[in-house]
C-alpha cells in the first residue's frame, strides 16, 4: 500500500495544555480512514495541523513524500489536499455554481479558464446530486445540501485526499445512508483517499477501512472497525456499551 499522508509525533499546545500529543499515523492511498474520539480529544486540532491552519509545536506532516509542515492551507490545497468543515461555510450570497467554481480555480490545477472551472463545477454538482440547483443562492440551502455543496467544492479542487469533518452529523437516517453511498462512490470513481472525523459511529464502522481513536490528545487505538468496536479502552473512553 502506498502511503499518501503521514503524521510524525504531531504535538500542539494551547496555553500550556496539550491538545495533541505525539500523534503518529499513516494513511494509505485509496483508503477511507475514520478518526474518532470524545469531544476535546484533539480531532479537529489534528486536521488543522495537517492542512496548515495550525503549525505544530513539534512533529511533521508528510504528504506524498513531501514535508508540508506549516504550509498555508491554500498551498496545501494546491498540492492536492482538500478539506470540508464540520459547519459548512459556503459563500452565502453566491450561487452553487459559483461556490464550486472557486474550488476549481484555487485547487490542484494549473491556471484554468473560467469556462473550464464552470465545466468542472457543473460536473461536481451532478456528482453530489445538486445539478438541479446550479443557480440557487447558497444561503437558501438546507443543512444536507450545504454539506453536499462543501463536498462538491472540495472535489472541484482535484484532490488526492479529502479531510472530511463530521459529514453526516445532523442528518436523518435516510440522509446518512445517502451520504455514505456518496462517499463510497467518490472513493471508487475518483480514486480519492478520505480521512474522516465523525461522531456517528455506525457510519464510520460501516464505511471505514481503518479507524484511529484519539483521547485527550493521544492516539488511544488504531485498527479495523471490528477491532476498534471490541477494544475495551475505546469502549471506556468513548463508544459506551451498545453503541456499535
244 occurs within a structural domain:
no
Statement to judge: residues 76 and 177 lie in one domain: yes
- The predicted structure's pLDDT at residue 91: 84
Mean pLDDT to the nearest integer, 109-133:
88
pLDDT of 232 > 70? The answer is yes
178 occurs within a structural domain:
yes
What's the rounded Cα separation, in Å, for the pair 234 and 130? 38
End-of-domain residue from the set 130, 157, 184: 157
Rounded to two decimals, the pTM is 0.91
Statement to judge: residues 93 and 71 lie in one domain: no
31, 54 contact by CB (below 8 A): no
Q: In the structure grid, which three cell numbers stand for residue 29, read together?
A: 492511498
Statement to judge: residues 179 and 71 lie in one domain: yes
Cite the beta strand spans of 64-139 per DSSP E.
Answer: 66-67, 81-84
Statement to judge: residues 125 and 138 lie in one domain: yes
pLDDT tens figures, 184-210: 999 999 899 999 999 888 899 999 999
End-of-domain residue from the set 137, 157, 177: 157
100 occurs within a structural domain:
yes
Report helix angle 173-190 to 143-156, nearest 10.
Answer: 10
Mean pLDDT to the nearest integer, 75-93:
88
pLDDT tens figures, 25-70: 999 999 999 999 988 899 999 999 999 999 999 999 999 999 999 9
Q: What is the CATH classification number for the domain harbouring 21? A: 3.40.50.300
Statement to judge: residues 40 and 104 lie in one domain: no
Statement to judge: residues 118 and 215 lie in one domain: no
Statement to judge: residues 72 and 186 lie in one domain: yes
- The predicted structure's pLDDT at residue 86: 79
130 occurs within a structural domain:
yes
End-of-domain residue from the set 111, 138, 157: 157
Q: pLDDT confidence of 243, banded at 50, 70, 90? A: very low
- The predicted structure's pLDDT at residue 244: 42
Statement to judge: residues 76 and 166 lie in one domain: yes
142 occurs within a structural domain:
yes
Closest CA to 155 of 108, 90, 202, 89: 108
Most confident of 22-31, 98-107, 163-172: 22-31
Give the other-Cβ count within 10 Å of 29's Cβ: 15
Q: How far is CA 34 from CA 66, 197, 201, 209, in A?
A: 23, 6, 10, 8
Statement to judge: residues 61 and 96 lie in one domain: no
Closest CA to 186 of 142, 145, 156, 213: 156
73 occurs within a structural domain:
yes
Cite the beta strand spans of 15-145 per DSSP E.
Answer: 17-28, 32-36, 58-63, 66-67, 81-84
Statement to judge: residues 164 and 68 lie in one domain: yes
Identify the domain containing residue 32 by its residue range: 3-80+160-239
Statement to judge: residues 96 and 206 lie in one domain: no
- Count of structural domains, the chain: 2
Statement to judge: residues 65 and 164 lie in one domain: yes
175 occurs within a structural domain:
yes
What's the rounded Cα separation, in Å, for the pair 94 and 72? 25
22 occurs within a structural domain:
yes
Amino acid at each position: 500500500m502506498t502511503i499518501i499522508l503521514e503524521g510524525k509525533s504531531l504535538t500542539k499546545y494551547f496555553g500550556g495544555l496539550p491538545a495533541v500529543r505525539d500523534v503518529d499515523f499513516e494513511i494509505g492511498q485509496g483508503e477511507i480512514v475514520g478518526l474518532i474520539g470524545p469531544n476535546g480529544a484533539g480531532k479537529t486540532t489534528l486536521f488543522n495541523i495537517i492542512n496548515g491552519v495550525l503549525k505544530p509545536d513539534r512533529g511533521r506532516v508528510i504528504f506524498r513524500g513531501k514535508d508540508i509542515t506549516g504550509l498555508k492551507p491554500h498551498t496545501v490545497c494546491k498540492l492536492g489536499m482538500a478539506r470540508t468543515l464540520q459547519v459548512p461555510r459556503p459563500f452565502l450570497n453566491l450561487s452553487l455554481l459559483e461556490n464550486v467554481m472557486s474550488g476549481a480555480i484555487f485547487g490542484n490545477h494549473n491556471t484554468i479558464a473560467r469556462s473550464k472551472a464552470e465545466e468542472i463545477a457543473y460536473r461536481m454538482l451532478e456528482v453530489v446530486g445538486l445539478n438541479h440547483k446550479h443557480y440557487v443562492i447558497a444561503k437558501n440551502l438546507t443543512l444536507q445540501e450545504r454539506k453536499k455543496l462543501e463536498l462538491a467544492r472540495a472535489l472541484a479542487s482535484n484532490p488526492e485526499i479529502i479531510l472530511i469533518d463530521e459529514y453526516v452529523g445532523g442528518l436523518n437516517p435516510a440522509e446518512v445512508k445517502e451520504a455514505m453511498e456518496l462517499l463510497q462512490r467518490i472513493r471508487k470513481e475518483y480514486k480519492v483517499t478520505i480521512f474522516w472525523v465523525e461522531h456517528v459511529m455506525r457510519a464510520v464502522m460501516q464505511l471505514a477501512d481503518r479507524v484511529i481513536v484519539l483521547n485527550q490528545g493521544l492516539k488511544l487505538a488504531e485498527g479495523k472497525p471490528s477491532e476498534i468496536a471490541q477494544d475495551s479502552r475505546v469502549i471506556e473512553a468513548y463508544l459506551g456499551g451498545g453503541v456499535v
